[in-house]
Structure 1
Amino acid sequence: MQILSKYEVPKAKESTFGCQLMDERDDGLVYEWDGIESDEFVSDLKALTSEYFGTIAKEKSLSNITEATKATLARWALVMTLMISFFGTLPLYIHGNWIFIVLTPVLAWLTIANYWHDATHFALSSDWKVNAFMPYLLPLLSSPSVWYHQHTIGHHAYTNIGHKDPDLAHAPQLMREHKSIRWRSTHSNQAHFLRILLVWSIASGIGLNILSDMRSVVKLTYNNAVPCMQRSRSNLAAHLFGRLFYISVAYVWPFFVFPLWKALIWSFVPNAIFSMCFMLNSQINHMVGPCIDASSKNFYKHQIVTAQNFGNDSRLCYYFSGGLNYQIEHHLFPTINHCHLPALAPGVKRICQKHGVPYNVVSGYKEALVAHLAHTVEMAVRP
């Protein structure tokens, strides 16, 4: 509490720009923390993780159990292999080799999925400096500082809670994925294939990296859900420089080396492929029927009922998602590296069955995507 108090947001409802920092609405959900330490469900989860990581810490003679929760040597080897592979393709990609217009962005996604997300959850290493540095090595998904606000603070604390989870309101003019978003006539055809293809193509590059980022800087709030820190002048200058650098390497450079027709292709297609990889592996985890309206006043149960696993028996799903296919376990234990989640999942499922907590899991990408699209169709109908 002493640490948290240093970062507490002032209670003033207005920022210096006159913008509301946080929506007062919470859809009626307030977590109940009293007595949670003695809750049998929570105690079983603690026992599961303590036994698993205690064994690892003892076998590897680690100084504390926290070290056991981070990336293993095998995980680091995977990360380094993917990173070397991605950077190795850049010379041919920059020279305009057509094969790499697909291969390079896919490798970029695989690299980021298997290390970047973990680092921003402090789950890559027990050394905070490693976790802080690594996301800035390849900030293609988002600015790390903005991602901390949007994802680590906002989404994980208030998963699928209207007016609190920023992921429910990324582009309310284009897509309505939750009942807290006011229905607009533009939502009536949101489930059209070309509409979804376009939105998914620009979601990461244009949406997260530019539009949402700049709004958070100006309004000091992310999607009107998460208050953002007031940046110092030097921090703001560094942040804006980083965004300009991203725009340059993602969109601008092809126009200096290729003919206009090829520059347009090289500027759009790789970013669209990367963005669609991200959207495929993020929308199917929470934006589905069983999860979207689920809730619990028990924080841990809430993390379970609002998440969906997919393809837990598939190596393709595991590596292509970077372990995001174990979304339930990730939301329960966000600071634990994804490489440990397959081993924890059977125990979590067993505990859920014991206590009557719904454990949402589907067979793979196809079933998960069909469920998400069905939800998108449902949300397109005027209430």
Structure 2
Amino acid sequence: MSAQLKFKDRTRSQFFSTVRKRVDAYFVENGVSSNANAAMWRKASFFLIGYATLYGLILSNQFGLWTMFGMAIVLGMFAAFIGFNVSHDGLHGSFSSRGWVNRLMGNSFYLLGANPYIWKITHNIVHHTYTNIPGHDEDIELAPGLVRLDPQEDLKPWHRFQQWYTFPLYALASLSWVFRKDFVKFFKNQIGHHDNSSHPRQEYVKLFASKIIYYFFFLILPVLVLDLTWWQLAVGFIMMHIAEGLVLGLVFQLAHAVEGTDFPMPDERGDIQEAWAVHQMRTTANFAPDSATAAFFCGGLNRQIEHHLFPKVCHIHYPAISKIVKDTAHEFGLPYLENRTFGSALLSHFRLLRTLGRTQPVRPLVAQPVAVTQQEPVPFL
């Protein structure tokens, strides 16, 4: 029988209970809800209306080729911003105290051509629990065999150049998501070591129906209404997704794949010898924490530390609680990783890719497969 991966809090760390108590006190003392406020609703409306407007303008057939080409690129960026600012909070249940509102906001993920159900499994359950653990967190398996983020993975000759070719691969992430990734993940028996062998019947219907609808609105309807050749439409569609994929890929990778973040391996019993919240502090990093622009467009993903500790708190509140989290981390002698700018985070990611493209693999201590127990409690997922 294989071992079960568990977080063993040998030191009985009081970090998470302390920081949670302080964050809860902040909301109570200030009479503030941890869900979306007026500013959050305005921001969500801006991106949703902007997306619909751009799509409508393109289909109006009132603009020249190059103007529509530019609007397609911006439309792809708006899709990514909806993912960051609307879908992400909705899928984590942090947008509202009402479940139907969260479901509605989470379903905006369909506008990206992506499936919210499978995202909740891969992201909310697997990634948020087993962050950066090789063999469990598939987010560090960007392009198996091509990109090496797992220190255990065999080093190949081409990995020496991965810091150069990985960034262009991010641009293909959205296209892969629309045509391949959701189907592959949905029909895998395991994601990491999470049992993924059974899904509700309605999710099969939603997966295929939503993909067909997306293909209709973005591949068939434009052919019917626009005075463009098929190859011009294909270029516009591809460029829209290249823009979307590049924005998505870069922002997500700057949270966990930068210098200083850990990629911990289970011990010989298949355990992680620290508390779950402490593990999050060692595997997660912020970027551009003082940038209002990053906060507006990235939907709080520039403050991933706060997000991983409090995914049920709407991201609009992360700047307010970040000082509490940072001070508490320092009080308990824990790292609080951050890159001061978006550019410095990109450089750090570049250097990490270069390092992992040269270092020999670190072999795991366990000699047998490690399975995940579904009994492991994870706060606030």
TM-score by length of 2: 0.83
Q: State the alpha-carbon separation in 1 of the partners of residues 333 and 11 from structure 2.
A: 19
CA distance in 1, matches of 2:166, 2:291: 26
Relative to structure 1, the CA distance from residue 328 to residue 86 in structure 2 (aligned partners, 3 Å threshold; closer, same or farther) is same
Q: What is the rounded CA distance, in whole Å, between the counterparts of 1:235 and 1:132 in structure 2? A: 14
Confirm or deny: 8 A CA contact 2:84 2:297 kept in the other structure: yes
Alpha-carbon distance, 1:167 to partner? 0.5
Structure 2 unaligned regions, length at least 5 = 265-271, 361-381
Contact between 2:44 and 2:82, CA under 8 Å: does it hold in 1? yes
> Is the Cα–Cα contact under 8 Å of residues 23 and 324 in structure 2 kept in the other structure?
no
Structure 2 vs 1, CA of residues 209 and 221 (structure 1 numbering), >3 Å: closer, same or farther?
A: farther
1:278 matched to 2:248? The reply is yes
Q: SS in structure 2 opposite 1:30?
A: strand
* Paired letter, 1:332: L
| Paired position in structure 2 for 1:102 | 73
Classify 1:253/1:201 alpha carbon distance in 2 versus 1 (closer, same or farther; 3 Å).
Answer: farther
1:54 correspondence with 2:28: yes
The separation in 1 between residues aligned to 2:336 and 2:209, in whole angstroms, is 44
Corresponding residue for 2:95?
A: 124
1:236 alignment partner AA: Y
Deviation at 1:136, TM superposition (A): 1.8
Q: Give, in whole Å, the separation in 1 of the partners of 2:341 and 2:231.
A: 38
> Is 1:320 matched up with 2:297?
yes
Q: Find out whether 1:43 has 2:17 as its counterpart.
A: yes
Equivalent runs, 1:205-284 vs 2, <5 Å: 205-206=175-176, 208-222=177-191, 224-228=192-196, 230-251=198-219, 253-256=221-224, 257=226, 258-284=228-254
Superposed displacement of residue 252, structure 1: 5.4
Are 2:10 and 2:273, in contact at CA under 8 Å, matched by a contact in 1? no
Separation of aligned partners in 1, 2:296 and 2:352:
26
**Per-residue deviation, 1:229:** 5.1
Of residues 359-368 and 125-134 in structure 1, the stretch that sits farther from structure 2 once superposed is 125-134
Residue 307 and residue 245 in structure 1: after superposition, are their counterparts in 2 closer, same or farther (change >3 A)?
A: same
Displacement, 1:127?
Answer: 0.9
CA distance in 2, matches of 1:132, 1:77: 18
CA distance in 2, matches of 1:376, 1:361: 18
Structure 2 CA distance for aligned equivalents of residues 87 and 348 of structure 1:
37
How far apart in 2 are the matches of 1:251 and 1:170? 27
Aligned runs of 1:173-188 on 2, under 5 Å?
173-188=145-160
Distance, in Å, in 1 between the alignment partners of 2:218 and 2:29 is: 44
**Which residue number corresponds to residue 375 of structure 1?**
352
RMSD: 2.4
Deviations 1:105-127 (A, max 9, x none): 22222232111111111111111
Shift of the alpha carbon at 1:298?
1.2
- Asked whether the equivalents of residues 79 and 111 of structure 1 are also in contact (C-alpha less than 8 Å), the reply is yes
Q: Is the 8 A contact 2:117 2:203 kept in 1?
A: no
CA distance in 2, matches of 1:247, 1:88: 19
Q: 1:201 aligns with which of 153, 163, 171?
A: 171
- Report the alpha carbon displacement of residue 52 of structure 1 after superposing the two structures with TM: 0.8
Shift of residue 202, structure 1, vs aligned partner: 1.0
Greater shift, 256-265 or 73-82, is seen at 256-265
Structure 1 contact 71–123 (Cα < 8 Å) conserved: yes
Amino acid at match of 1:304: M
**Aligned counterpart for 2:35 among listed residues 44, 62, 70:** 70
With the length of structure 1 as denominator, give the TM-score of the two structures: 0.82
Structure 1 position 89, deviation (Å): 1.5
1:362 aligned partner, one-letter code: N
Q: Which runs of 5+ in 1 are unaligned?
A: 1-12, 14-23, 61-67
Q: Give the 3-state SS of the residue equivalent to 1:190 in structure 2.
A: helix
1:205/1:98 CA distance change after superposition, 3 Å: closer
Give yes or no for the alignment of 1:91 onto 2:59: no
For 1:310 and 1:106, how far apart are their aligned partners in 2? 19
Amino acid paired to 1:40? Q
Q: Decide whether aligned partners of structure 1 residues 141 and 361 sit closer, same or farther in structure 2, where only a CA change above 3 A counts.
A: farther
* Corresponding residue for residue 136 of structure 1: 107
How far residue 215 of structure 1 moved from its aligned partner, in angstroms, is 1.7
Deviates more, 1:196-205 or 1:158-167: 196-205
Separation in 2, partners of 1:331, 1:352: 14
Cα 1:309–1:173, aligned 2, differ >3 Å: closer, same or farther?
same
Runs of 4+ with >6 A deviation: none
Q: How far has the Cα of 1:34 moved from its partner? A: 7.6
Q: Counterpart of 2:338 in 1: which secondary structure?
A: strand
- 2:256 is aligned with 1:289: no
Tell me the number of residue pairs that the alignment of Structure 1 and Structure 2 aligns.
Answer: 344
Provide the residue aligned with 2:139 in structure 1: 167
Residue-by-residue CA offset, 1:234-293 (whole Å, 9 max, x unaligned)? 431331222233344445555554213312211210100011111111111100121033
User: Which of 100, 104, 126 is equivalent to 1:154?
Assistant: 126
- State the one-letter code of the partner of 2:178: N
Q: Share of identical aligned residues, percent?
A: 24
On the 8 A contact 2:86/2:108 being kept in 1, the answer is no
